[in-house]
Structure 1
Amino acid sequence: MIPISSWLVLLVVSGPPWAAGEGLQDILGVHVPKYGQCFQSVSGEAGALNVGQRWGDPSPTATLVIDPRTVTSATSYFDFRTFDPEGVIFYGDMSPGVNWFLLALRNGKPEIQIHNTLTNVTVSGGQRLDDGQWHRIMAKNEGHTVLLAVDGVDQLTLNHVSEAIVEAPVFALRIGVGGLLIPTEELLLPLNPAMDGCMRRWNWLNKSTEWLEGTSLEDKDTKVCFPTIRRGSFFPGNGLATFSLSGLPTGVISANRSWSLTVEMWIGAAPQSAPLLATSAFPLRLSLHRTDLTAHLGNKTVLQVPFPLGGCLDAPLLLSITPSHATLRLGDAETSKPTPKLDFESLKHVWLGKKGDFVVGGLPGQEKFPAAQERSFFRGCLRGIRVQGHELDFDEVQSRSNSIWPHSCPGADVGQAKADQEE
């Protein structure tokens, strides 16, 4: 019988070279891009690992393997930071599918799942950790007890779920961060494993074990950990996200059978020429054109509002299309035009019929055709995107570029980051 305590023993092994202070880009030789004049301070934080590198792939961002016969400590700790309310922080096993341990977030709170020959148990609770601040997480095994502490305060305690550490009849302990080493359907409680978060200052059992890195950590577009973050979804300018209209709300039709479309968001970006959002089955498009925001409805109706003065754009946006008028508002600037009846009926037919896609950050099909790559993608931060009053979740997309940070944007400055964290 393999003791569960070995999993918590797994919880920490000293990190790769950059844990000592070298930047990830220096170790791997990757290029850390700048993101325009509105994100001049953006760079990777030395010693931090972004655990959310790939969309649609539940495997870990980084893994390690150690010999359990060398384990001498049952305490592990690391700093963790995220705005993502759900996802895998850490998974470990000694016998895949039989003896494993999971530390994750659900509704922003820590969750532990344990599966072994002694027990199958899931426990959630404690303080929310999806506040964008660094938290010191410590997992410890003492006899038959598993303890999880956050910032020095006990959060979860599980009794009689393990045995004292003994020599195991296997020679490999595996650990993965930001993903799973088993199929998602084997979890005790279903969970979306994707995690947009960062880890630093880890201590994995005081052992010198290097990550067995995936190819994602070797790519030039590897996502870094921003020094400060704010809520939102960050588009670095080389990818888009696609939602199926079948998964978006149709919008309430009032008693007089009138339907309308409303899209709201907060946008932060530098002046640029790029598409912001579009639908695939009907020509509805919202684009940035250097100093203006433009909306196209059908083939003729064009709405245009100027950027606020000051260079960088940081303002609320509203697009409203009713049977009578199409309205576009950016900050304090607003314009409105009568809605052509045929265009409105076509849009209504497509939306209520749930036909096609709703694309954010580019144009439909832009990533599939090489020639389209010459057209730029949106670069900036989008926050609180609401369609028909429903906030979009970038973990529920039909497809998404790996380049996108789904739950975090670079912090404008320390003061702004603190204000965002306190919301």
Structure 2
Amino acid sequence: MMAGGLQLLALSVTVLAWGALGQGDGRWKKQVSGDATIYLGQQREAWRPLMHVAVNLTKIKDIKSSFQLRTYDPEGAIFYGDTKSGRDWFVLSLKDGVPLMQISRSGVLVNVAGGPKLNDGQWHTLEVSNQGHFVILEVDGAMGLVAGLQSKHIEEVISGDLRLALGGLLITKESMLVQFEPQMDGCIRGGSWLNLSIPWETDTDKLWPCYQNIRHGSFFPGSGLAIVNTSVFQIEREHSVKIELWGDFTKMYGAILSIRTPGLVPMFTLVADNTTKEITLSFSGHKMSLKENFKRLQLTFGTDLLEVQHDGAESKGTTKLLSPLKHSGLLSILRESQMAIGGLLGKDDVGSFLRGCLEKIQIQGKDVDLDLTLKDMSISSHSCPV
């Protein structure tokens, strides 16, 4: 692969993040510059870039740079770069927690994935450089990925614009060889980026902050909910349905969980009040309150009853609530019902949405990844502020 083609790949990495929000040159074209931290999970359409910029290739001198990334998210787009208005392109993302580079040059597709898992919530330094026919990604000073491409059909790129985009793509997702979920609940911060000082442009009025300290979990800011497709968990094959929630329930406020039957009747709600330190559970006409300080709540829906178990550092308890439905009626309805985490189904009242952090959510013993649900984008799927 010729140097001009490799320059495209390395440059896509290097002009990543001029971080701090500066003065805008228009309502929809604010500029972002400096070395501050940028949150990639900003609310927008799923594949739409958070920021973008176009740079004349003749102005680019350095083809080596580095930046830092922090996330608990195993999957998402970090940045994109292209020439020829998208005919040649480069994408860096995470999939299963490890870096994934995808390259398209003159119709030739290359993808390479590997290296250490980066979704541990720690800051990692990524450096990309062009060495001959290869693009090399180093992670924390050690070799991460090497991608090489050489063909007599590849055209040299020596003029025109290099388009860059952060947190999204400027091509269709179907163009990629390896598919992934786009939204990245993560942050990047500045490092060494070529010799350029051209700012990013964004049409976002206000950039969301990156919190200084985070922990693993799903953060609900009180402005939306996530609807879970229960068919993913194959509950129709089971004799019971088990839902487990972890977190500090004394610090939550609003609806944690709600289930609505096909007839739009609320069957189950779980609501927290951090002022009274009380959890209120409503189920098929029954209502109960939990005031103990616990960190884990397990709900097991059987053929004709709901079993509630909770435990923490100070207390454990088990309660059984009988359903008015007999035999297998409860599970049959549950399999066809809608389930929401972080709000009450059928209500748009902001006051009903959950404010707080759920450290872990499981259905039938499997972790629920909120990125795979129909969720409000204000919800951070993989991290909570400390």
CA distance 1:294–1:261, shift in 2 (3 Å): farther
* 1:11-410 aligned within 5 A: 11-13=13-15, 15-16=17-18, 18=20, 47-54=36-43, 56-117=45-106, 119-161=108-150, 168-170=158-160, 172-215=161-204, 218-219=205-206, 222-250=207-235, 252-253=237-238, 259-271=239-251, 273-281=253-261, 282-289=266-273, 290-299=276-285, 301-308=286-293, 315-323=295-303, 325-331=305-311, 332-342=315-325, 345-352=328-335, 355-367=336-348, 372-373=349-350, 375-397=351-373, 399-410=374-385
Q: Give the 3-state SS of the residue equivalent to 2:135 in structure 1.
A: strand
C-alpha displacement of 1:4: 3.8
Q: Give the 3-state SS of the residue equivalent to 1:351 in structure 2.
A: helix
Q: Give the 3-state SS of the residue equivalent to 2:331 in structure 1.
A: helix
Cα distance in 2 for residues equivalent to 1:273 and 1:119: 52
Q: Is the 8 A contact 2:284 2:324 kept in 1?
A: no
Cα distance in 1 for residues equivalent to 2:125 and 2:82: 23
Unaligned runs of 5+ in 2: 25-34
More moved, 269-278 vs 375-384:
269-278
Q: Is the 8 A contact 2:250 2:277 kept in 1?
A: no
Q: Give the 3-state SS of the residue equivalent to 2:199 in structure 1.
A: coil
Cα distance in 1 for residues equivalent to 2:357 and 2:326: 30
The percent identity for this pair of structures is 32
Cα distance in 2 for residues equivalent to 1:347 and 1:274: 25
Counterpart residue number, 2:10: 8
CA distance 1:174–1:293, shift in 2 (3 Å): same
Q: CA RMSD in A?
A: 2.7
Q: Which amino acid aligns with 2:133?
A: H
Q: Give a deviation string over 1:15-67, Cα, whole Å, max 9, x none.
A: 4462xxxxx5x979xxxxxxxxxxxxxxxxx9210011136521111112211
C-alpha displacement of 1:264: 0.4
More moved, 108-117 vs 159-168:
159-168
C-alpha displacement of 1:269: 4.8
CA distance 1:173–1:150, shift in 2 (3 Å): same
Indicate the structure with greater strand content: 2
Q: State how many pairs are aligned.
A: 364
Q: Give the 3-state SS of the residue equivalent to 1:283 in structure 2.
A: strand
Q: TM-score, normalised by structure 2?
A: 0.86
Q: Which amino acid aligns with 2:214?
A: I
CA distance 1:343–1:54, shift in 2 (3 Å): farther
Q: Which amino acid aligns with 2:291?
A: P
Q: Is the 8 A contact 2:54 2:164 kept in 1?
A: yes
Unaligned runs of 5+ in 1: 19-23, 29-45, 254-258, 309-313, 412-423
Q: Give a deviation string over 1:181-238, Cα, whole Å, max 9, x none.
A: 11111111112122111000233312001111132xx24xx43211121111111122
Q: Is the 8 A contact 1:14 1:207 kept in 2?
A: no
Cα distance in 2 for residues equivalent to 1:205 and 1:165: 24
Q: Give the 3-state SS of the residue equivalent to 1:9 in structure 2.
A: helix
C-alpha displacement of 1:366: 2.8
Q: Give the 3-state SS of the residue equivalent to 2:159 in structure 1.
A: coil
Cα distance in 1 for residues equivalent to 2:43 and 2:229: 20
Q: Is the 8 A contact 2:250 2:278 kept in 1?
A: no
Cα distance in 2 for residues equivalent to 1:271 and 1:70: 52
More moved, 116-125 vs 69-78:
116-125
Cα distance in 2 for residues equivalent to 1:381 and 1:84: 16
CA distance 1:144–1:272, shift in 2 (3 Å): closer
Cα distance in 1 for residues equivalent to 2:71 and 2:23: 24
